[in-house]
Amino acid sequence: MKHACTVALGAALFCLAGSSAALAHATLETKEAPASSFYKAVIRIGHGCEGTATTSIRVQIPEGVIAVKPMPKPGWELTTKEGQYAQAYDYYDEKLTKGVTEVSWTGGNLPDAWYDEFVFRARLPDRPPGTVIHFPIVQQCEKGVHRWIEIPEPGKTADDYKEPAPGVTLTAKP
């Protein structure tokens, strides 16, 4: 059992180590998911702006991502904005033509020294494997704002940008 604990602890720590490089930006915890699947988007906020606390997080839901349900967070006011989808999507027995296009957690206070996650659930679009779905995020702080909205141009990756939008890469439908 102790052996298993060690292994588990080590594995967990290694997972943290592997992902720590990206903790500087606003990122998504799960970076790959199958197309058309239900995806739990965990937005990780590792720091504030210019050393000050984060006060609001706003996410724009890109076209094709439907059935969005955000997770409420104590101390934060959760609001969503609805809009028309560009086309009708099949969702179980329904055809969805409109839904949540923007999710906002506002009025909170996340000090720069602390870390928090903002979660929502959504269904990813049916697109070819390898397609990256980007979620532009605006992080408002006491002093300043971070706009994680840069979408890499063809031929470039998120590493080439100062404030890239976090994304999830679609894999093949199961």
Partner 1 sequence: MAPYFPVAATRLVAAPLLALALCIFIAPVVWAHAVLLETSPEDGVRLDVAPREAWLRFNEPVNPVAVRVLDASGETVTAPDAMASDGETLRLALPDDLKEGSYILSYRVTSGDGHPVAGSIVFGVGTAAGIVTPDLTASNGIAIAAVVVRALHFAALLATAGGGLFIILVLGHRNPVKDRLTAALCLNAAVAALTAMLGIGLAGANLQGTSLNSLLAGSVWQTGLATSVGIAGLIALCGLLASMMGLALKGRAGTASLLVGALLTSASLATTGHAATAPPEWLSRPLVFVHGLMGAYWVGSLWPLIVVLRTTPTAESVDVVRRFSRLAVAGVIVLVIAGMALSFIQLGGPGAVVTTSYGWVWLVKISLVIVLLVLAVLNRQRLTPALAEGGSASRRHLDRSIRAELGVVAGIIVATASFGLTPPPRALLVQEGALESHHHEHEPDAVEKQEGAHGYATIVTAGERTAIIETDPAHLGRNQVKAHITGPGGSVLTPLEVTIDLAHPEARIEPISRTLSVSAQGTATGDVDLPLAGHWTLTLNVLVSDFEKVVFRTEFVVQKARGP
Closest separation between CB of residue 90 and partner 1, Å? 26
Secondary structure (3-state) at 20: helix
State the Cα–Cα distance between residues 102 and 62, nearest whole angstrom: 9
Query: Based on CB atoms, which residue is closest to partner 1, 96 or 149?
Result: 149
For residue 39, CA distances in Å to 2, 30, 116, 156 come to 34, 9, 19, 25
Q: Is 58 in the site for partner 1 (CB under 8 A)?
A: yes
Nearer to partner 1, 91 or 114 (CB): 114
Cβ partners under 8 Å of residue 48, min gap 6: 54, 110, 111, 112, 139, 141, 142
d(CA 77, CA 51) in angstroms, rounded, equals 23
Query: Residue 55: helix, strand or coil by DSSP?
Result: strand
> Considering the rule CB under 8 A, would residue 83 count as an interface residue with partner 1?
no
Scan residues 6-45 and list those touching partner 1 (CB under 8 A).
6, 9-10, 13-14, 16-17, 20-25
**Which one of 60, 109, 131, 171 is in contact with partner 1 (CB under 8 A)?**
60
Chain residues binding partner 1 by CB under 8 A are 2-3, 5-6, 9-10, 13-14, 16-17, 20-25, 46-47, 50-51, 58, 60, 112, 136, 138, 147, 149-150, 153
